[in-house]
Chains A and B, each alone.
Chain A
Amino acid sequence: MSTGQQVNNGVGPVSFARRKVVGALAALGGVAIAPGLVLYEFAQAAPDAGKSTGASSKVRWGMLIDTTLCTPGCTACVDACRTENGLGPVTRATDVQWIRKVELKDRKTGAVQSAPVMCQHCAEPPCVDVCPTGASFKRADGIVLVDRHTCIGCRYCVMACPYMARSFVHEPITEQKTEVPRGKGCVESCTLCVQRVDRGSTPACVEACTAIDKGAMVFGDLNDPQSDIARRIRARASVQIRADLRLDTGVRYQGL
């Protein structure tokens, strides 16, 4: 202890009233710090429980989308994303959209295609570069996320993302999922359903696409040569959207 004593030693004799003030400030400081210390203890205790080993840089999570298997107008992936992450239905232009179906038509040939587009989980993400507080970050396994505690809502990442993948929460949020904390005034985007991936499952969009026998979306470890996604990418040419930017996206497309 004590802050009060240290202050007193520095200035010599002090009046009783000043001692009381300094003592009260020290007590106030203690009250302010105590909950933080308790939380810190909890946070430190978590790894010891052995529940999480953290993301590994040996893994590069990615997704392969075969647009030849994707039906125009089908929104199974979009619906599954909204349900899984508690995003609710889209009723306004300002509502968040983590994944969207982009319907494409070639200007010369008229060829029609459909492609789900979401955060491309770049190896060199512009959103992470521009974020002033470091709230936008990339996990060791390549998943790009937003730390909802340090996002100040400046929207510079939305300006910087070449994929229109980020959304700003324009309204108060009432119903959130425990595993997907969200908040008004912060930016968010596709997390590759990190809560599912960390449990060893696949993103909800991929699961939904597979469930209706489309199989247009494959999720896996791009670094593992034996993984389904790596084998498919080896077997048939794939492209990255805006490959000219050389962001090394984790999401690849076939058929585009």
Chain B
Amino acid sequence: MAKPMLMQIEGRAGFWTVAALFGALLAAALGAAHYMETNGHVVTGMNNQIVWGLPHVFAVFLIVAASGALNVASIASVFGRSDYKPLAPLSGWLAVALLTGGLAVLVLDLGRPERLVVAMTHYNLKSIFAWNMLLYNGFFLLVAIYLWTMLQPGAQRWSKAAGSAAFVWRLILTTGTGSIFGFLIAREAYSSAVLAPTFIALSLVYGMAIYFVVLIALCAGSGRELGGAALGRLARLQGWFIVVALYLVAVFHLTNGYMAKQAGVERFLLWDGGVYPLLFWIGQILLGSLVPLAILWHPRLHGSHAAVAFASLLVIGGGIAQMYVTIIGAQAWPIDLFPGREAHSSFFDGVVHAYVPSVAELLLGLGGIAIAALATLAGVRFLRLVPQSASDAVLAPPAGG
């Protein structure tokens, strides 16, 4: 096996062009956040029935993906596949970058973002949100230590311990994210413990997809070799992640559909709810899961950079669709205070709630991606995160592996 060497990405014109594009997107997002903050959420599509809108869709997607971006590092450190070690630092850095982007969107979408310090100094420890704040901070810390063990000469002997701690933490973290919804008794579409493992499975898929896109783009942009066999092995694994996620999504909807009191919301989300069934079946299931699965498991495609990148972009799109259905679809379905009766009021009791996202919300959501992208670009530019070559010779599995 050739000796892998980690190197910074060179600051060529293409690199700075991409950075400038994401910088412009971030500037637009900050402008949108300022506009929302100055005028209030009245300028968004949100209202008192749909209080979490498109920014939450992007934020939760990024936070869930952050946990999954650590996959490759975990494979190398925790599961002992040392052949993937050259790919691990990027995996850790990407996890931190995605979490930063997601959290930034959450904060900027707060009604009072300037009170972030209040959120950091006042903890209601019964709140899953408060737990999540502790979990996010712990994740930053553990992954930072993990990265240090990978990048600091002589510290590698701590890598497995740090990687294992980060791996366990990421499972807890995503359990926490799923539980933000799973613990809500008010909404018929939630209130299920299955949401926590479902979110973990989805995180494996989304994080891996983003990692593929970033790795392939970085290698292509910097002229580095990326072996088809190594990529193919990871692509096949991603296929299994997709299968596990599909299974849990199926279990979630089947259990909900089986319960008479929740059959209405299931019918709404999966059949006659307008945009939501469309996003679920076409976005999440067909384009976001089945088509990528076919590509990733296709014997002639799973080693192809273009095919894996395309499949990964589909998965990312499907992930956004899934979050839209999970977060907004669930709120659109009316809360039934009086079972067995038709209800109507000035506060929209008994009717499906409408939501049309505004441009400002979209820009703020995309701003999270811009932050994650800029943080990633800064990392690969100034730190040695990417191998000089990720050829099949460099990433060859150990004998018998």
Residues of A within 8 A of B (CB): 90, 92-94, 96-97, 100-108, 113, 117, 126, 128-135, 149-156, 158-164, 166-172, 184-187, 241-242, 245, 256
Residue pair A169, B127 in contact (C-beta under 8 Å): no
CB-nearest residue of chain B relative to A104? B341
CB-nearest residue of chain A relative to B107? A152
Residue pair A132, B130 in contact (C-beta under 8 Å): yes
B383 at the interface (CB under 8 A from A): no
Interface residues of B in 83-135 (CB under 8 A from A): 110-113, 115-116, 118-119, 122-124, 126-130, 133
Taken together as a complex, chains A and B put the C-alpha atoms of A154 and B347 apart, in Å, by 20
B40 proximity list for chain A (CB < 8 A): 169-172, 184-185
Taken together as a complex, chains A and B put the C-alpha atoms of A181 and B94 apart, in Å, by 44
A149 proximity list for chain B (CB < 8 A): 118
Taken together as a complex, chains A and B put the C-alpha atoms of A115 and B339 apart, in Å, by 14
A134 proximity list for chain B (CB < 8 A): 122-124
Q: A152-B113, A169-B40, A184-B40 known; 19 other A-B pairs, CB under 8 Å? A: A97-B346, A97-B347, A102-B337, A102-B345, A106-B340, A106-B341, A107-B342, A117-B349, A130-B127, A133-B118, A134-B122, A151-B111, A154-B129, A164-B48, A164-B349, A166-B48, A167-B48, A168-B51, A245-B185
Residue pair A241, B338 in contact (C-beta under 8 Å): yes
With contact pairs A131-B124, A132-B130, A241-B337 given, residues A103 and B110 touching in the complex (Cβ less than 8 Å): no
B119 proximity list for chain A (CB < 8 A): 132-133, 152, 154
Interface residues of B in 24-75 (CB under 8 A from A): 37, 39-42, 46-49, 51-52
Taken together as a complex, chains A and B put the C-alpha atoms of A104 and B130 apart, in Å, by 38
Q: How far is the CB of B107 from chain A (nearest CB, A)?
A: 9
5 contacts between A and B (CB under 8 A): A150-B115, A153-B113, A162-B335, A170-B40, A241-B338
With contact pairs A104-B341, A154-B111, A169-B40 given, residues A161 and B124 touching in the complex (Cβ less than 8 Å): no
Taken together as a complex, chains A and B put the C-alpha atoms of A64 and B184 apart, in Å, by 27
Residue pair A93, B186 in contact (C-beta under 8 Å): no
Taken together as a complex, chains A and B put the C-alpha atoms of A126 and B184 apart, in Å, by 8
Taken together as a complex, chains A and B put the C-alpha atoms of A90 and B187 apart, in Å, by 26
Taken together as a complex, chains A and B put the C-alpha atoms of A256 and B343 apart, in Å, by 13
Interface residues of B in 340-370 (CB under 8 A from A): 340-349
Taken together as a complex, chains A and B put the C-alpha atoms of A152 and B114 apart, in Å, by 8
Provide the B164-194 mask, 1 if CB < 8 A to any CB of A, else 0: 0000000000000000100111110000000
B331 at the interface (CB under 8 A from A): yes
A133 proximity list for chain B (CB < 8 A): 118-119, 122-124, 130
Taken together as a complex, chains A and B put the C-alpha atoms of A158 and B116 apart, in Å, by 19
A108 proximity list for chain B (CB < 8 A): 340
Residue pair A153, B112 in contact (C-beta under 8 Å): yes
Taken together as a complex, chains A and B put the C-alpha atoms of A129 and B184 apart, in Å, by 10
Residue pair A185, B110 in contact (C-beta under 8 Å): yes
With contact pairs A150-B122, A159-B331 given, residues A186 and B111 touching in the complex (Cβ less than 8 Å): yes
Q: How far is the CB of B53 from chain A (nearest CB, A)?
A: 10
Residue pair B340, A90 in contact (C-beta under 8 Å): no
Residue pair B185, A126 in contact (C-beta under 8 Å): yes
Q: Which of A101, A156, A162, A185 contacts B129 (CB 8 A)?
A: A156
Residue pair A100, B346 in contact (C-beta under 8 Å): yes
A96 proximity list for chain B (CB < 8 A): 48
CB-nearest residue of chain B relative to A135? B122
Residue pair A93, B348 in contact (C-beta under 8 Å): yes
Taken together as a complex, chains A and B put the C-alpha atoms of A150 and B117 apart, in Å, by 10
With contact pairs A132-B123, A152-B110, A245-B185 given, residues A102 and B344 touching in the complex (Cβ less than 8 Å): yes
B337 proximity list for chain A (CB < 8 A): 102, 117, 162-164, 241-242
With contact pairs A130-B127, A160-B184, A172-B40 given, residues A152 and B115 touching in the complex (Cβ less than 8 Å): yes
B122 proximity list for chain A (CB < 8 A): 132-135, 150
Q: Which of A107, A161, A162, A164 contacts B341 (CB 8 A)?
A: A107
Residue pair A154, B110 in contact (C-beta under 8 Å): yes
Taken together as a complex, chains A and B put the C-alpha atoms of A168 and B41 apart, in Å, by 9
B348 proximity list for chain A (CB < 8 A): 93
CB-nearest residue of chain A relative to B129? A132
Taken together as a complex, chains A and B put the C-alpha atoms of A191 and B303 apart, in Å, by 62
CB-nearest residue of chain B relative to A105? B342
Residue pair B48, A159 in contact (C-beta under 8 Å): no
Q: Which of B112, B185, B342, B344 contacts A186 (CB 8 A)?
A: B112
Residue pair B347, A100 in contact (C-beta under 8 Å): yes
Of B48, B346, B349, the most chain A CB neighbours within 10 A belong to B48
Q: How far is the CB of B136 from chain A (nearest CB, A)?
A: 12
With contact pairs A105-B342, A159-B51 given, residues A171 and B39 touching in the complex (Cβ less than 8 Å): yes
A90 proximity list for chain B (CB < 8 A): 346
CB-nearest residue of chain B relative to A170? B42
Taken together as a complex, chains A and B put the C-alpha atoms of A106 and B340 apart, in Å, by 6
Q: How far is the CB of A247 from chain B (nearest CB, A)?
A: 9
Taken together as a complex, chains A and B put the C-alpha atoms of A126 and B48 apart, in Å, by 17
Nearest 8 A/B pairs, CB to CB: A153-B111, A185-B111, A132-B129, A162-B186, A134-B124, A155-B51, A170-B42, A133-B122
Q: How far is the CB of A167 from chain B (nearest CB, A)?
A: 5
Q: Which of A101, A155, A166 contacts B345 (CB 8 A)?
A: A101
Q: How far is the CB of A169 from chain B (nearest CB, A)?
A: 7
Q: How far is the CB of A202 from chain B (nearest CB, A)?
A: 23
With contact pairs A94-B47, A169-B40 given, residues A184 and B123 touching in the complex (Cβ less than 8 Å): no
Taken together as a complex, chains A and B put the C-alpha atoms of A102 and B52 apart, in Å, by 24
